[in-house]
Amino acid sequence: MGESINLVNNFKIREVIFNNNEYNELEQKLIEELEKKKIRYHRKINNLKIGNYDFKFLNNNIYR
């Protein structure tokens, strides 16, 4: 997480997946950067399909 903003600024990032916990200061700054660069991000999801891959999130806490 510590280098995430650096990664976003120096590499082509298409999408980011966040945990469902409350966001700390670093995560808030990353979200601001993603929104500036119009990079899509996901949070509070059960599953995510990317290409031929289907990801299931077992500890998503969206029903609590």
What is the per-residue pLDDT for 59?
A: 64
Chain centroid, CA 47 distance in Å: 13
**Domain containing 35: what range?**
4-56
Q: Which amino acid is at 37?
A: K
Domain-embedded: residue 62: no
Domain-embedded: residue 61: no
Task: Domain count for the chain, please give it.
Answer: 1
> Residue 52: what are its φ and ψ, rounded to 5°?
-90, 5
Q: Is the pTM of this model over 0.75?
A: no
Domain-embedded: residue 63: no
Domain-embedded: residue 49: yes
Per-residue pLDDT of the chain (64 residues; tens, 9 = 90+): 678 999 999 999 998 988 767 788 888 999 999 999 999 998 878 888 889 999 887 765 554 4
Interval 54-64: pLDDT, tens: 988 776 555 44
Structure tokens at 17: 């997946």
